[in-house]
Structure 1
């Protein structure tokens, strides 16, 4: 078959655009005919070599008859070994072996006939050197023909693909870089054309890897400065780079309008879907740090064959906690949330991903004590991870009663039930906004922290109450990064509240690993804080995201400052002013020694603020919150008057 149906249609429609690469494959008899011609030429060349050596053929058979016998034998073995069935442009070593076996069988048969006639008639029919020449030359010619066709078609395909392929360099020249380049080159579906490798060394070397040049770091930077390049992007291997090194290269590429691609892991390189794993680098990759690595033996012991409750389990943090706990072989995971659709989506994901885990998905409001108590009575919870909360600062500022009912009353219900039913450990997820709060949301979370801590030393309590506190989580619901990404996709503008606002960031897996580790390490009553690294200026974050999307800030995508929102502050803190920290067994995790309150005092005050919340008396709610959290000073809010 010469052409596929679509190609025939193009011909019938008299389209005059045709490429040799459109040719599918020749009929098998044509390939066999070409092979016969090649074997005939091989016989002729072998004959000329014998003549050149001044050696005469035996005269048992006339030479033309002898040559016809050889060709007939060779065709028989070609048919036997099916050497003509392979598509030539896709020839492999298997096809080469078939050719060798067919020709070797021909040579052995000729030698066998030679000795039969010798012992029968006393004469030989063919020169052994001639058979050797013929075997070597025919194998060479047949293989060269296939190699030529294969190379010819590959060259046509490469030329055709180069018109739409992106020319890129690989950053690095180590074994990993070469393996990734090899995978890309051998995958015709990938829209990349490897131009060469950028060496991290400045020492010039005249070598090539996979036929591609290796350029030094300084020479590459020099070519960028003088615009002496025609590449569109660079592929880097993030896992092999330090953060400072990554920042240097990313800044350099962005300044020169080069696309930055992130290489997949070596495991994904072996996947047939590798095309889906080479992606442009995202801002999360630049903010991400190496995750905490602790001894998972103790963590698994705490969860193995235990029943675990995760509140807010359909949220970004709660869902990741569920994922990580599912890997620890628990007896059962109860996932509780009040959002119906996200909870259903979570159920579908978890049952598909972890079919061996016994899940129970509960639709419930944590502020409803009568709903929660039967759940605690039914299940013998060993661990409670409390991630349910209202966390959006402006919304809670506008609706302080709702914030208190969920963040304070909900936490109070769960903590008291955990103590009542003898839960081994209660781990609360808090926020850096609870430190020196300037908004109702942060203050409500600080009140929740104080109540949870107060239960630790309550007479008769056996539950260990632990709090974890961290900053913004990349990719979580309501995070600034997805918000910016949507604004950029729409063509802008990108809105920022203030040019000087800064925030701490961490990844969702990091945050949840902290929660699990804290639940294991805690003795009870601690507030764990995480080394968040350096704070990130949101304006710089927005500019980088715009550049990573291929646009110029304030030219292609405008940046607009909208002013601080009610309750928002420029800088978040992880520790209060009068707090001190204690080290733990891991350098990245510390214990914050914040002031505490006695249970009777905080219990009375929380009941008071909860009662006012039920009446929706906003001013009284915030006034009581300020009496509990002395450091709570409203910022850019209608409640600032209460501070006077």
Structure 2
């Protein structure tokens, strides 16, 4: 009952006019105290004169309070600014009083009226102390009663900087939910034992599970954007909710709202700072261009569409064969007031359809993100992988060249490096084909390579989330498997940056930081879901899938890199190709019969000497090659004759 009553009262604000009246009463009381102190704690002063001065004081105090507005603050949330306003009001009251007394002394406007300067000074001092003290006492009493009778969420704030202070103020001023700030956490010992607004600063090393349990901590709010990966993971290991304050630039009108504090995401545990792109040349690069994006409904394609829509492009052409996802992208653009685009359901394997699109819309730039990307499925269907990843790329690149497109940007993958799967091999073949085409075309062909994209369709993160929702277990192919990760916006920004700096013929690779162990990622996702591993959800090792690697690479054997003006983007120096023969063989590969899977894989291996199948039925071809070479003494992996005789 008392709890509910206090909650009701805590949600009510005292009228500002009530505060105004109380402040006036305090000023009158301190005026009496000033006289009492001035006359040695006796009443031996002119009471009649004192009573004549009270109406004048009421008028002066009222003018001062109204001018400064010190009575308008919410008393239970009194802060430094409120105390400063009280000081301003009291100072203004004293100045007006002195001014009026001096004017009256010189011009004798009111006969016999005066106030001793000593009384004015003592009164100003007492008024400031009592007005400020009353506010702080009320705030302390309110907080004591609130913590005693109202259910509060007990939290720790990680950080002691400006963001932490803003977070603290946002929490204590929140009306809908009550927070009890148990302390601030700092990474070192320098500030340990000090306090912020009476809240103790704690050293990170003292925050363990025992501390969390004994102090009934409900949540730790991270305010530092540059918190080290190890420190963040150590927090995740604790059995307590971990949330994070968004970057300052995303605050609403420069102010933090409690609703913006969100659960820590798996992206925050990557162990590297997000890649930032701030290149003014991007605006000039896409200004007035007609840009075509294939795979526009996919993870990367849709993000490219989103980011390109913010530039002053003349028109966007969105191409995808997935009707429903493309419709979603279309509706999202319309919701954001974008109308300079055309969504087209089309298959990039249809050369006539592509020709019609280019003829009608005349794109000046092409971003090619359409592809089959699931390794195990493509291992079973090499012909389908060839049709999309190789032939689709070939048709699109040929059409772009024929219509003199300025730039053609191909989104490749790290699985194309020393491929162990059909999917990776087909992406490498596509890279090779556009490299061949560069030699005879005015179009600038640019390739970008990067690893796994967090949250993309079919990636491990959505899979783990779904498995957690279903109660587990999480399925993992190998305990030691590692992958490079970046976010979808990061990947798309880097693709746009590479498109801007590309001169034609480059393969751009991105610095993706350290590779992430998927087993650790799975455990962290379980913890972030508020569950325990392995008590609540376990991890099941299923074995490597056909064509799957334990770890990915960004450079093939024999490749090295050149730096660019962006430290996160490098250019791969690939070995020279026999462009005429390679192009001819790729064209032959594209017309291979669909039922000849073995023949397709053998041709892929002939074109890509570093392609060695892993955990796949096609490993037998690698063994046959080695046996044949050993028997014949052939050392040249590139020999067409070697493969044709097998």
1:590 to 571, 594, 614: 571
Report the more deviating stretch, 335-344 or 513-522. 513-522
**Aligned CA-pair RMSD:** 4.2
Counterparts in 2 of 1:210-225, with a 5 A limit?
210-217=197-204, 220=206
Q: Give me the whole-angstrom Cα distance separating, in 2, the residues matched to 1:119 and 1:258.
A: 71
Report the counterpart of residue 317 of structure 2 in structure 1. 334
1:407 to 389, 396, 407: 389
Report the counterpart of residue 438 of structure 2 in structure 1. 456
Report the counterpart of residue 641 of structure 2 in structure 1. none
8 Å CA contact 1:74, 1:106 repeated in 2: no
8 Å CA contact 1:337, 1:364 repeated in 2: yes
TM-score (ref. length: structure 2) = 0.79
Q: CA deviation at 1:52?
A: 4.2
8 Å CA contact 1:77, 1:105 repeated in 2: no
Report the counterpart of residue 347 of structure 1 in structure 2. 330
Report the counterpart of residue 465 of structure 1 in structure 2. 445
8 Å CA contact 1:488, 1:494 repeated in 2: yes
Report the counterpart of residue 249 of structure 1 in structure 2. 231
Post-superposition CA distance 1:7-49 (Å, at most 9, x none): xxxxxxxx66543452335688977876786577556545644
8 Å CA contact 2:155, 2:221 repeated in 1: no
Q: CA deviation at 1:103?
A: 6.7
2:289 to 306, 309, 321: 306
2:550 to 547, 567, 570: 570
Post-superposition CA distance 1:453-506 (Å, at most 9, x none): 221223xx2112222222111221111112112222332111112223222222
- Does residue 181 of structure 2 align to residue 194 of structure 1? yes
- Does residue 356 of structure 2 align to residue 374 of structure 1? yes
Report the counterpart of residue 492 of structure 1 in structure 2. 472
8 Å CA contact 2:98, 2:117 repeated in 1: no
Q: Give me the whole-angstrom Cα distance separating, in 2, the residues matched to 1:466 and 1:20.
A: 66
Closer, same or farther: CA 104–476 of 1 in aligned 2, 3 Å: same
Post-superposition CA distance 1:403-459 (Å, at most 9, x none): 22221221111100111011122111111222333333222222222222221223x
Q: Give me the whole-angstrom Cα distance separating, in 1, the residues matched to 2:480 and 2:209.
A: 36
Secondary structure at the aligned position of 2:509 is classed as strand
Post-superposition CA distance 1:517-552 (Å, at most 9, x none): 333343433333334343322212212222233332
Q: Give me the whole-angstrom Cα distance separating, in 1, the residues matched to 2:278 and 2:30.
A: 69
Count of equivalent residues: 610
Report the counterpart of residue 168 of structure 1 in structure 2. 156
Counterparts in 2 of 1:546-561, with a 5 A limit?
546-561=526-541
Report the counterpart of residue 281 of structure 1 in structure 2. 264
8 Å CA contact 2:209, 2:238 repeated in 1: no
Secondary structure at the aligned position of 1:349 is classed as helix
8 Å CA contact 2:83, 2:132 repeated in 1: no
Q: CA deviation at 1:386?
A: 0.6
Q: Give me the whole-angstrom Cα distance separating, in 2, the residues matched to 1:35 and 1:456.
A: 81
Q: Give me the whole-angstrom Cα distance separating, in 2, the residues matched to 1:90 and 1:262.
A: 24
Counterparts in 2 of 1:357-436, with a 5 A limit?
358-436=340-418
Report the counterpart of residue 630 of structure 2 in structure 1. none
Q: CA deviation at 1:229?
A: 5.7
TM-score (ref. length: structure 1) = 0.80
Closer, same or farther: CA 642–165 of 1 in aligned 2, 3 Å: same
8 Å CA contact 1:253, 1:259 repeated in 2: no
Secondary structure at the aligned position of 2:331 is classed as helix
- Does residue 508 of structure 2 align to residue 519 of structure 1? no
Q: CA deviation at 1:558?
A: 1.0
Secondary structure at the aligned position of 1:455 is classed as helix
Closer, same or farther: CA 181–610 of 1 in aligned 2, 3 Å: farther
Report the counterpart of residue 19 of structure 1 in structure 2. 5
Closer, same or farther: CA 495–235 of 1 in aligned 2, 3 Å: same
Report the counterpart of residue 443 of structure 1 in structure 2. 425
Closer, same or farther: CA 635–142 of 1 in aligned 2, 3 Å: closer
Q: Give me the whole-angstrom Cα distance separating, in 1, the residues matched to 2:225 and 2:115.
A: 64
Report the counterpart of residue 196 of structure 2 in structure 1. 209
Q: Give me the whole-angstrom Cα distance separating, in 2, the residues matched to 1:628 and 1:35.
A: 88
Q: CA deviation at 1:618?
A: 4.4
8 Å CA contact 1:268, 1:274 repeated in 2: no
Q: Give me the whole-angstrom Cα distance separating, in 2, the residues matched to 1:277 and 1:177.
A: 14
Closer, same or farther: CA 599–231 of 1 in aligned 2, 3 Å: same
Q: CA deviation at 1:318?
A: 1.4
Post-superposition CA distance 1:108-131 (Å, at most 9, x none): 8996998799778xx736764797
Q: Give me the whole-angstrom Cα distance separating, in 2, the residues matched to 1:215 and 1:125.
A: 58
Q: CA deviation at 1:559?
A: 0.8
Counterparts in 2 of 1:262-281, with a 5 A limit?
262-269=244-251, 271=254, 274-281=257-264
Closer, same or farther: CA 407–175 of 1 in aligned 2, 3 Å: same
Q: CA deviation at 1:337?
A: 1.7
2:112 to 86, 106, 124: 124
8 Å CA contact 2:154, 2:182 repeated in 1: no
Secondary structure at the aligned position of 2:593 is classed as helix
Report the more deviating stretch, 131-140 or 621-630. 131-140
Post-superposition CA distance 1:333-367 (Å, at most 9, x none): 22222222222222333344474x83332222111
Closer, same or farther: CA 280–36 of 1 in aligned 2, 3 Å: closer
Q: Give me the whole-angstrom Cα distance separating, in 2, the residues matched to 1:295 and 1:39.
A: 57
Report the more deviating stretch, 314-323 or 31-40. 31-40
Closer, same or farther: CA 294–106 of 1 in aligned 2, 3 Å: closer
8 Å CA contact 2:35, 2:119 repeated in 1: no
Q: Give me the whole-angstrom Cα distance separating, in 1, the residues matched to 2:190 and 2:130.
A: 44
Secondary structure at the aligned position of 2:478 is classed as coil
Closer, same or farther: CA 200–518 of 1 in aligned 2, 3 Å: same
Closer, same or farther: CA 154–256 of 1 in aligned 2, 3 Å: closer
Report the counterpart of residue 543 of structure 1 in structure 2. 523
1:239 to 212, 218, 225: 225
Post-superposition CA distance 1:264-313 (Å, at most 9, x none): 22234565563233223222112153455678355444323222222112
Q: CA deviation at 1:210?
A: 3.0
Secondary structure at the aligned position of 2:536 is classed as coil
Q: For structure 2, list consecutive stretches of 5 or more residues without a partner in the other structure.
A: 625-646
Q: Give me the whole-angstrom Cα distance separating, in 2, the residues matched to 1:290 and 1:204.
A: 26
Secondary structure at the aligned position of 2:524 is classed as helix
Secondary structure at the aligned position of 1:555 is classed as coil
Q: CA deviation at 1:167?
A: 2.3
Q: Give me the whole-angstrom Cα distance separating, in 2, the residues matched to 1:534 and 1:117.
A: 83
